[in-house]
């Protein structure tokens, strides 16, 4: 898929979108980041999706923080699960 706003790019929208999650998580190799970043400069639609992913990740990180468990609770749960297997 090619964006109407991108005249030339090393990577197309489909490729960028398929890598977006890994890109936002810094899991894309350094040499593969440059074409993605260039595409994002040229393509407002893909940039919007990237910004949405970043905002969503921040919301999830903020709202889903791990609460401290009461002492011993994790061990009790693991023990109970081990008995059911």
C-beta neighbour count of 33 within 10 angstroms: 13
Please report, to the nearest 10 degrees, the dihedral formed by the alpha carbons of residues 62, 53, 33, 16 taken in order: 160
pLDDT recorded at residue 67? 75
Q: Write down the mean pLDDT value for the chain.
A: 87
Question: Cβ neighbours of residue 6 under 8 Å, at least 6 residues apart?
Answer: 12, 13, 39, 42, 43
pTM given for the model: 0.66
Sites in the chain below the pLDDT cut of 70: 1-9, 85
Name which CATH class applies to 13-84.
mainly alpha
- Residue ranges covered by each domain of the chain: 13-84
Asked if 47 contacts 40 with a C-beta cutoff of 8 angstroms, the reply is yes
């Amino acid at each position: 898929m090619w964006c109407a706003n991108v005249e030339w790019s090393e990577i197309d929208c489909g490729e960028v979108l398929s890598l977006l999650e890994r890109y936002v998580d810094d899991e894309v190799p350094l040499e593969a980041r440059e074409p993605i970043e260039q595409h994002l400069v040229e393509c407002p639609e893909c940039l919007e999706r990237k910004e949405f992913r970043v905002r969503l990740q921040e919301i999830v990180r903020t709202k889903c923080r791990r609460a401290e468990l009461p002492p011993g609770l994790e061990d009790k749960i693991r023990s109970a699960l081990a008995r059911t297997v």
